[in-house]
Amino acid sequence: MANKSKVADFLGSLNKEQLEAVKSNPRSAVIVAGPGTGKTATLAAKIVYLIKNEGYQADEILALTFTKKAAQEMQQRVSLYLDAHRIPKILTYHALGHSFLQALGIRLNLLADHEKYFIIRELLQDSGLKNQLHSYTIKDLLQLISNYKNYKEQKIIEELDEKVRIGNFPEGLVQLVRVYQHYLQQRNLVDYDDLLIKTLDILKKDRKIFNNLFPRLRYILVDEFQDTSDLQLELLRIISGGITAEVKEAKNRKVKIFAIGDPLQAIYSFRSGTNQIFKKFQEIFPRTQVFNLQKNYRSAQKILQTAHRLFPESPLLMPVIADTGRITLVTTLNPYSEADWIVGTISSIIGGTDIEQSGNILAGQLKRNEDNPDEKIKLSDFAVLYRIHHLGGIVKSRLRESGIPFQAVDEVSFYQEPETAFVINVLRFIATENDEFFRGLQYAPMLKLSTELLVELNKYTHNSASLWAGLREFVKRNSLQNQLNKLYFQNFLKLFNLLQELIQEKSQDLKSIVDNIASVFDLQLNPEFLNALLIFLKSESPLQAFLNFYEKLEQHDFFDTSGDKITLLTMHAAKGLEFKYVFLVGFEEGIIPYEKSFANDEQIEEELRLLYVAITRAKAQVFLIKTRERNRKKVVSSRFEKLLEHELQVLLDPAISKIEKRRKLNKEKKSQITFI
């Protein structure tokens, strides 16, 4: 049983603004929670307060967030103060859609994100659209497909046509969406967008269906509200009884709503997010009460002051920690000297030998750390951020050469490569015999199973007493029908036999299992994956130890939170994370802000918010690094430098003069050789 004094201590740990938001009881509330202001603690406290102090029951509350990771973190936080049976549903929007559709008896075969990646790659080739869409990565196309489906569902046809016309949606995308949707329908598959679209379609026709399934719902809490799309907001309006343009008064609305987020961290317009979402919320839910959290528990004073320069009209966040902090503008010559400076500076801060390279500013930092011997600086305290992935390439190379451990949160992790994903699904299936992991296998691109076979296979597995009973009956029936000579059935048979063998002998060591899978299907596995497995070979149960690690990694978007490594990631991917030291690569016009954002003021404004997010990841120090030349062209500093210049300490990389002297000598030698 949860301890009452523990709950009281938790609520007592909140500051005045947090406690006011938690104890408030308006029909609708927005909590503007800037970076480091204790958003998660406030939301968790609100849930605990509703149940412990206001008498709400678990089935009367619904908490919504955007990622499984966030939902699980919230679940863990709340479980410290509430018994398991008193914890309400804490779901992602997509999980809510999934639960709703399943409750209606709608059978769903949900497509995993990594499966979508390989399906689109295959469809581009088969449909002849590859050349037409060659300038877009598959990740870009997946996002565009998602955006297109969201716009179409919201029936913003004029805006949709305009987006196609001005190039937000490329020519060929509409055709790709049709091919993709046809592929899904043939195989009875849905993606995450379909979960919300199907749910919304049903609820628009009859909201009472939701009331029947959730008859006691009285309170909805929404996390990271700034990331909400128009489609998700419409879903919130329907399930909570908010007003519409046609109905000006929500007289019978019984469901209260509590949304928490930060308008200055709205950076996902490319995912259908909008910076107007707070304004739209207050139109749908009139008389909304607004609370502001302004005490920052993460960053030093100088970092908050600098970030505030980007949005001087917004409230200034007040630091709780005493450290003054620093923000330094570093000028170096090119991407190679940029990478060398970063590696040398990190080395010096953690006690390496390149102190001279980092200058007097860092010498002061080192001295302060020596004055605090209890403070141990770890590699995981450092992050290198960049606007686009390829800017991290040279830094990665230099870190590899130096032998400093790092992890790169890449566009597509090696764990998501088709061969690796296939092996991991085999491992998950033999460990659990869970139907979900088998479905991930049957759609694997290397099996090349025909649509006809997949439809028939699904009939057997859905209508049998168990998955294995259905599989055995399917194999038996097809063997009798002389399907053995068909390639797609041979591939399925290989999978069926391999799974049976591995389940019977799963006590064998992890390396042997993986080698066996690779051998049967002639897979060329990524060496990074094979190296990652080595860590678990000496575990008491290597297979389970690896799967536990992988599950945690997957929850954190393949970011290893437990490893002591430097982290390299994009500015977008850094949202929600914090580091002691942040290095921002490419503080140059065309990169920050990104040249593709130059089309309109809204996009430039979002680039400004993105810089705000990057700076506020730091606890102690930020380095904004610009070069004089990139891609063999002269570059200029970011236009945003003017907004920050009064807060910046300026540092010139000493390597510039050395490199320029070397260039001059080489030039003189060449001219002498020419003269001779």
Q: pLDDT tens-digit profile of 324-343?
A: 999 999 999 999 999 999 99
Mean pLDDT of 431-446: 79
Beta bridge partner(s), residue 190: 110
Give the C-alpha separation, 341 to 333, whole Å: 10
pLDDT at 166 over 70: no
Specify the pLDDT at position 248: 47
Chain mean position to CA 216: 32
Specify the pLDDT at position 557: 73
Q: How many CB atoms lie within 10 A of CB 180?
A: 21
pLDDT at 167 over 50: no
- 164 pLDDT band, cuts 50/70/90, is very low
Give the C-alpha separation, 61 to 581, whole Å: 39
Highest mean pLDDT of the ranges 185-189, 430-434, 562-566, 577-581: 577-581
Specify the pLDDT at position 673: 64
pLDDT at 133 over 60: yes
Residues 622 and 612: beta-carbon distance below 8 Å? no
What is the percentage of the chain residues whose pLDDT exceeds 70?
88
Of 352-361, 530-539, 585-594, 659-668, the range with the lowest mean pLDDT is 352-361
Specify the pLDDT at position 481: 59
- 359 pLDDT band, cuts 50/70/90, is very low
Q: Beta 382-386 vs 566-570: how paired, if at all? A: parallel
Residue with tokens 């979960």: 195
Residues 401 and 342: beta-carbon distance below 8 Å? no
User: CA angle, 433 as apex, 428 and 439 as ends, to 5°?
Assistant: 75
Specify the pLDDT at position 360: 39
Alpha helices in 285-434 (DSSP H): 301-310, 335-349, 355-371, 393-402, 418-432
Specify the pLDDT at position 154: 55
Specify the pLDDT at position 485: 52
Specify the pLDDT at position 242: 65
Specify the pLDDT at position 445: 75
pLDDT: is 381 or 133 the higher one?
A: 381
Phi, psi of 474 (to 5 degrees): -65, -45
Per-chain mean pLDDT for the chain:
84
pLDDT at 172 over 90: no
pTM, 2 dp: 0.84
pLDDT at 663 over 80: no
Residue with tokens 């994903």: 421
Q: What is the pLDDT of residues 272-325, one digit of tens each?
A: 677 789 999 999 998 899 999 999 999 999 999 999 999 999 999 999 998 899
Of 212-226, 452-466, 566-580, the range with the lowest mean pLDDT is 452-466
Mean pLDDT of 41-49: 95
Specify the pLDDT at position 674: 58
Give the C-alpha separation, 376 to 401, whole Å: 25
Specify the pLDDT at position 54: 93
Dihedral sign for Cα atoms in the order 534, 536, 540, 545: negative
Q: Which residues contact 367 (CB under 8 A, 6 or more apart)?
A: none
Mean pLDDT of 646-663: 87
pLDDT: is 482 or 500 the higher one?
A: 500
Mean pLDDT of 388-396: 93
pLDDT: is 9 or 333 the higher one?
A: 333
Specify the pLDDT at position 672: 65
Report the length, in residues, of the chain. 676
Specify the pLDDT at position 363: 42
Specify the pLDDT at position 276: 86
pLDDT: is 461 or 617 the higher one?
A: 617
Phi, psi of 259 (to 5 degrees): -115, 135
Residues 299 and 614: beta-carbon distance below 8 Å? no
Q: What is the pLDDT of residues 463-486, one digit of tens each?
A: 777 788 888 888 887 765 555 556
Q: What is the pLDDT of residues 583-601, one digit of tens each?
A: 999 999 999 999 887 778 8
Q: What is the 3-state secondary structure (H, E, C) of 466-511?
A: CHHHHHHHHHHHHHHCCCCCCHHHHHHHHHHHHHHHHHHCCCCCHH
Phi, psi of 595 (to 5 degrees): -60, -30
Specify the pLDDT at position 676: 54
Specify the pLDDT at position 374: 59
Q: What is the pLDDT of residues 223-268, one digit of tens each?
A: 999 999 888 999 999 988 765 544 444 455 578 999 999 999 988 8
What are the contacts of 213-216 at 24+ separation with CB within 8 A?
213/100, 213/103, 213/104, 214/59, 214/62, 214/239, 216/57, 216/59, 216/60
Strand order of the sheet with strand 326-332?
406-408, 566-570, 382-386, 579-584, 618-627, 326-332, 649-652
Specify the pLDDT at position 404: 92
Dihedral sign for Cα atoms in the order 470, 476, 481, 487: positive
Mean pLDDT of 2-20: 86
Residues 285 and 34: beta-carbon distance below 8 Å? no
- 507 pLDDT band, cuts 50/70/90, is low
- 59 pLDDT band, cuts 50/70/90, is very high
Residue with tokens 């694997």: 444
